[in-house]
């Protein structure tokens, strides 16, 4: 096991990195929010019935592919309501609301962005260790390895983040933290997560008890005794009401509900496993460019039918076009690059991309400038339905 001093040293380094990252995020968002197109922000504000400053932050989160504008507004407004309920309401003044939007927006950007990606990367190695949990020949050494890796991830990665979130959110509880980090980690809707809390907690405790059973077969020693005592403390802490768990138990809970990749056939009855879309040998595509998100959303669009699919794809394609336009790319090039990227990523070898591009360019030229953004979305949508879905 890692020594407490080693864990503390790693935790301090993690907190320092987090502080620096958040300072940079705050400065970056503060500068970018000044450049948000007011007309776009007003459109979001009117459509979703929210303050203009909230709409401006939602626009940035949507542009970055972190959250849809609607989802961002819902989360920002929910925190506004929580603060009002605890007697710490944000003054209804533009400056105060904008500062709130920036501070809370950086958390949303982090939780649904780099934090989720870091969790997915870090649990891969852990998943390989946990694959032996149901193995009848599980050894004491393997049980210690699993517990050591979990402890390291909790103490040096998740706990510092959860603690910072709680410190920055006045009168927040462990349940509030679970509701903030749980949905981005699991990709579940909030209602789904809340409905599964009790079962998830029971599975988490069962996992630790399974490790304890293995360790109890070892010869008596101070080290094993200390490890078993630590497990008992975690299990007891997880028994607390969801809004009264300590940071350590909350962090263990979040780590436990993080989906594990299925790459090696983990079929544990105790550890939750799951997988996102795959490309090659990766567990999930690198979500770094607008086209990564477009590829993912086109694949997910197959699950929907009729009007639901059209609405879903239009919203996603419109976001990608908007991001590309924000990067200074001409509207015609936005369409061409989107079509070309999709053709390559979906392995459409015999698709006449050049002919499609020429036809789109001709149609775009005969359309008034104010209607070209909408036409661009329609063109990409038509390409998806005709050449990818075959409809």
Q: Using one digit for the tens of pLDDT, what is the confidence trace for 147-177?
A: 999 999 999 999 999 999 999 999 999 999 9
User: Which residues, listed in sequence order, are joined to residue 282 by a DSSP beta bridge?
Assistant: 279
8 located within any domain: no
Specify the pLDDT at position 216. 87
What integer pLDDT is reported at residue 56 of this predicted model? 96
Domain boundary among 257, 282, 316: 257
- The tens digit of pLDDT for each residue in 96-127 reads 999 999 999 999 999 998 899 899 888 988 88
278 band by pLDDT with thresholds 50, 70 and 90: very low
Round the average pLDDT of the chain to a whole number and report it.
Answer: 86
Residues in the chain, overall count: 391
Tokens of 2: 């890692």
Q: Is residue 300 part of a domain?
A: yes
Confidence (pLDDT) at 171: 94
Tell me, yes or no, whether 340 and 230 share the same domain. Answer: no
| Residues ≥6 apart with Cβ < 8 Å to 109 | 25, 29, 61, 64, 66
For residues 247 and 158, state if they share a domain.
Answer: yes
39 belongs to a structural domain:
no
pLDDT tens per residue, range 340-373 = 888 888 888 778 888 888 888 888 888 887 788 8
Residue 369 lies in a domain: yes
What integer pLDDT is reported at residue 288 of this predicted model?
A: 64
In which band, very low, low, confident or very high, does the pLDDT at 256 lie, cut at 50, 70 and 90? very high
Co-location of 235 and 297 in the same domain: no
Residue 193 is assigned to a structural domain of this protein: yes
Q: What is the pLDDT of residues 42-54, one digit of tens each?
A: 999 999 999 999 9
Share of the chain above pLDDT 70, in %: 90
Tally of domains within the chain: 2
Does residue 224 sit in the same domain as residue 328? Answer: no
pLDDT at 325 over 70: yes
The Cα–Cα gap between 129 and 339 comes to: 42
Q: Which domain does 193 fall in, by range?
A: 132-257
pTM over 0.85: no
């Amino acid at each position: 096991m890692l020594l407490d001093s080693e864990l503390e040293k790693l935790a301090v380094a993690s907190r320092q990195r987090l502080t620096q990252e958040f300072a940079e995020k705050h400065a970056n968002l503060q500068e970018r929010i000044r450049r948000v197109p007011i007309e776009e922000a007003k459109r979001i504000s009117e459509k979703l019935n929210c303050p203009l400053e909230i709409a401006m932050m939602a626009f940035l989160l949507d542009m970055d592919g972190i959250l849809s504008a609607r989802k961002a507004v819902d989360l920002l407004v929910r925190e506004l309501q929580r603060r009002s309920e605890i007697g710490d309401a944000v003054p209804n003044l533009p400056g105060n609301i904008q500062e709130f939007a920036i501070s809370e927006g950086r958390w949303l950007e982090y939780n649904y962005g780099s934090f989720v990606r870091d969790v997915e990367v870090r649990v891969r190695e852990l998943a390989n260790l946990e694959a032996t949990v149901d193995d009848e020949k599980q050894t004491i050494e393997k049980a210690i390895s699993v517990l050591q890796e979990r402890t390291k991830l909790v103490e040096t990665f998740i706990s510092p983040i959860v603690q910072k979130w709680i410190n920055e959110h006045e009168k927040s509880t462990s349940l509030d933290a679970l509701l903030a980090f749980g949905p981005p980690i699991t990709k579940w809707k909030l209602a789904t997560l809340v409905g599964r809390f009790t079962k998830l907690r029971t599975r988490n405790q069962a996992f630790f008890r399974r490790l304890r059973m293995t360790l109890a077969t070892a010869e008596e020693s101070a080290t094993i005794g200390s490890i078993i005592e630590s497990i008992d403390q975690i299990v007891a802490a997880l028994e607390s009401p969801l809004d009264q768990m300590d940071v350590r138990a909350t962090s263990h809970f979040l780590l436990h509900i993080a989906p594990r990749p299925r790459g090696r056939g983990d079929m544990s009855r105790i550890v939750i496993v799951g997988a996102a879309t795959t490309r090659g040998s990766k567990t999930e595509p690198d979500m770094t460019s607008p086209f990564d998100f477009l590829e993912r959303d086109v694949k997910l669009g197959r699950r929907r039918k009729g009007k639901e699919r059209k609405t879903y794809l239009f919203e996603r394609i419109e976001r990608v076009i908007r991001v590309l336009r924000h990067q200074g790319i001409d509207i015609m090039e936005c369409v061409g690059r989107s079509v070309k990227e999709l053709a390559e990523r979906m392995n459409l070898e015999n698709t006449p991309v050049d002919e499609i591009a020429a036809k789109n360019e001709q149609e775009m030229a005969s359309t008034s400038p104010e209607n070209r953004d909408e036409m661009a979305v329609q063109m990409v949508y038509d390409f998806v339905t005709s050449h990818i879905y075959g409809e």
